[in-house]
Every structure is written in structure tokens, then in C-alpha cells.
Amino acid sequence: MNTIIAFILMFGLLVFVHEWGHLIFAKRSGMLAREFAIGFGPKVLYFTKNETLYTIRLLPIGGYVRVAGEDPEIIELKPGHHIGLEYNSDGYVKQIIVNNKSKHPTAQVIEVERADLDHDLVIEGYEIGENEKLTFKVARDAVFVMDEKETQIAPFDRQFASKTVGQRAMQLFAGPMMNFILAILIFVILGLVQGIPSDRALIGDVQADSPAHDAGIKSGDEIIQIEGNSVTTWKEFTDVVKARPESPIDMLVLRKDGEEHALTVVPKKATDMEGNEIGQVGVTLAFEKSFFGTFKYGFVQTYETTKLILVNLGKLITGQYSLDMISGPVGIYDATDQVVQTGFMNFLMWTAMLSINLGIINLVPLPALDGGRLLFVGIEAIRGKPIDPQKEGIVHFVGFALLMLLMIVVTWNDIQRLFL
């Protein structure tokens, strides 16, 4: 149960922060954000505030912000349509009744000849049985009413396509950007709570019955020399240890009381993730408290994690890693279960890493992802005019279908790893 709650909270936080970035920059540029959704599929919870429908949907496989003009509007008024009109106090149309007009007895029913709800905001038509053409001015915040559900109209200046290249690019980039900011914030919190890794070769925990324990190394010791050579960083210490499995290493350590002790440790032989033999002594790096260093730690950890993910992504693209190494929701849930067992701090670290991963994946220039849409905006900036929206829509639709297919394959692989 703890894992289920942790997974739901983690998933909700990552998607919420990502989509909130899209939402904030959409609203700041004047776009009409129709919906802010966590998940896909049927609505579970929903409410409307400031023009936007906020929903939590059944399937926890992502989220979206639906901005006016990004996809074809469902309702289109064509010549010959009979519609009902309700007016506000200024005489502008506030409701356009598309069907079930009998439920709106005060509505004025007309036959449409022409409607422009993008630029002129007018509807031209005739009262039923009359020959005089009338022009009706439409309020900017008017709504369609279809099946008793309201959908706000979107004048062109409220649509995604009406905004500058910079505004559209920022709205698309804002989601991944917020994932990186969330990771930085989590790393800063971790640093404030548990401290930050020491810059020195300072020993934290020493495992029982480990080579370090047998050699007399204690928590709080600082390695200052190895084989007579000065040591100032943890990397210098671990590089020597890894390179000398089962070989004695003479060290000089500085104790908390200021005394120096000469010790000899024999690293045990182990195998790293790439199958190479390395030495290990069974110690961890110590953490230190530093208020200002904590903020640097947040940025450095985010940068290092980003670099690691990009390297692994490159290996996947070049075929050095197979598709079987990718995890979907099932695999992430299983990994989360293992991380939760190790404590809350490790769970926070895992959340930060997944947030960075989500930001990077969304910036990959593939159709339907933020990166793919940014690519089209970039092409528009270079060529000076947008690509045909219908053609772009087809590309994104095909890309989305392929991504869903990849999700199915990855999920099947996850299930096989768990149960086969």
C-alpha cells in the first residue's frame, strides 16, 4: 500500500509540475487553455476555474494542457444551421445554442448564413420565416451550448497559432523546464535535510565485516594519503580502490581528534554494471552541512544526472543498449517499490531523477512530444512561415500512435521481467 500511495503521489507531482508549466505560459501569453488534465481516458474528478477545465482522468499515463487552436474545434457553424442565441446585458451574443433549443425557450432561433468567430466575431442569418438578414455581434467570451455542455469560443488572438514564435516555443518548453526546476528543488531539499556530499575523501558509513572495517577505517576518517601520494577528493580515493582489487593499499587517515593513522586495506573484488572487475572497500562518502553549498549541489546534481541520462539515451540510439532496457509504467512502479523500501530520502532522490528523465524525454524531437512540436516551431522561424497545420497534425497523430505502440511494447517487456 505504501508503494501504491508513493507511486501515485510521485506520478501526480511529476505530471502536475510539467503541465503546470505549459498552463502558466499559455495563460501569460493570452492563450485560452481549455483543459488541464492529469491522466488520460474518462474523467474521475473535474472542476472549472478561470476558463479552464481541470480534470483528473482514469489512466495514469501522462497528462496534457489543451490550448485553443492546437486541434480542430469540434463545433463549426455552417450555412443552413438553426441555432438559438442568448444575449448579455450589452446586447452581445453570450450563448450559442447548437441543439436542444426547446430547453432554452428565451433563445432567439435563427438560420445561419455566415459565422466568423475567429476575427469579426459576428453571426449573420435570418429569423425563421423572415427574409431580412440580421447581424449579431458575439461576445469574446461567448460559449457554444451542445448537449447542455458549454464550450467557450476562441477568437484568433486567444489561439496558439496567433502567438509569436517565441511565445509558442516558450509555452512548449515550459513543461520540461519545470521538471528540471523541480529536480533542482528536490536536490536542494535533500541537501538541507541530510547535507551535501563532502568535497574531501571523508568517510561516512563503514560496512560491517568489510575490508575498510577490517583495516580499522572509521566513520569520520579523512583519507589524506595513498601510497605516499596526497589525496584531496573522493574521486581520487575511489579511483585507486577500483583499480586495485585484492591488492594491499597503504593509506594515511586523519581522525576527528586530529591524529593521523597509517592503515593498510585490501579491496575485495567486485563487478561493475559493464562487467569490469573493480575493487571495493565498503565505505560511503560523508555528508556535510553547508547552506550556500546546498544550492550549488542542487544545480550540480541536476546537471550530472542530465548528462548521465543523455549518455544512456545516446547508447540506446546507437544500439549499444537494447529496447529491453527501457522501462514503462510497470517497470517504474517496480523500481519505485524497491526504492521506497530504502527510505524516504532515497524516494525523493528517485523522484528528482525521474523528473529530469521526463524533461529530457519530452525534449526529444519526436512527433507528438514537446520536442517534436518545438521542432516545427523552429522550422517556421527559419522558413518565415508556418507548415500547413493539417500536415503537421497528421505527423503528430502518427507520432502519437507510434508512441502508444512503443508504450505497449515496453509495458509487455516490463511484465515479462516481473513474472517470467
CA distance 329 to 14: 13
CA distance 33 to 145: 18
Picking from 402, 408, 362, 385, the residue whose alpha carbon sits closest to that of residue 65 is: 362
- What DSSP letter does each residue of 205-222 carry, written as one string? EE-TTSHHHHHT--TT-E
Query: Secondary structure of 228-255 in the HEC alphabet?
Result: CEECCCHHHHHHHHHHCCCCCEEEEEEC
Note if 19 is an active site residue: yes
CA distance 292 to 304: 19
CA 233 to chain centre: 34
CA-based end-to-end distance of the chain: 24
How far from 25 is each of 174, 178, 183, 288, CA to CA, in Å? Answer: 7, 11, 20, 38
Catalytic residue among 19, 35, 70, 222: 19
70 in helix, strand or coil? coil
Paired residues of 109 in beta bridges: 84
* C-beta separation of 361 from 327 below 8 A: no
CA distance 352 to 183: 4
CA distance 407 to 40: 14
Burial of 114 (0-12, 13-18, 19+ CB in 10 A): middle
Residue 38 is given by DSSP the state E
The phi, psi pair for 120, rounded to 5°, reads -80, -25
CA distance 171 to 85: 35
| Catalytic residue ranges | 19
